[in-house]
């Protein structure tokens, strides 16, 4: 049986109202779209992608640099 993958990301912002938001999506594509949506939503806070990853019950893959590279091309 294939392992269930989950794609996690954290959007953060600094300053007086410092904070962060973490969420997950069922696929890489949905994760990237979610990241774009939240970066646009919180643009006035200078939000940025803090980290993102793909996780299964026995594996972790850091996707932060890969997604940041993709975002540079579209945002």
- Rounded Cα distance, 63 and 68, in Å: 9
Residues 48-59 have pLDDT tens digits of 999 999 999 999
- Asked if the structure places residue 41 within a domain, the reply is yes
Domains contained in the chain, number: 1
- Asked if the structure places residue 18 within a domain, the reply is no
Task: Indicate the angle between helix axes 28-41 and 64-74, nearest 10 degrees.
Answer: 60
- Asked if the structure places residue 67 within a domain, the reply is no
- Asked if the structure places residue 73 within a domain, the reply is no
- Asked if the structure places residue 69 within a domain, the reply is no
- Asked if the structure places residue 43 within a domain, the reply is yes
Query: In terms of residue numbers, what domain contains 47?
Result: 1-9+27-59
Residues 4-42 have pLDDT tens digits of 999 999 999 998 889 999 999 999 999 999 999 999 999
User: Whole-prediction pTM value?
Assistant: 0.90
């Amino acid at each position: 049986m294939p392992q269930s993958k989950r794609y996690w990301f954290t959007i953060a912002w600094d300053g007086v109202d410092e904070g962060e938001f973490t969420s997950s999506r069922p696929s890489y594509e949905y994760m990237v779209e979610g990241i774009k949506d939240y970066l646009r939503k919180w643009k006035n806070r200078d939000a940025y992608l803090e980290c993102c990853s793909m996780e299964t019950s026995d594996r972790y893959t850091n996707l932060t640099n890969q997604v940041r590279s993709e975002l540079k091309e579209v945002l």
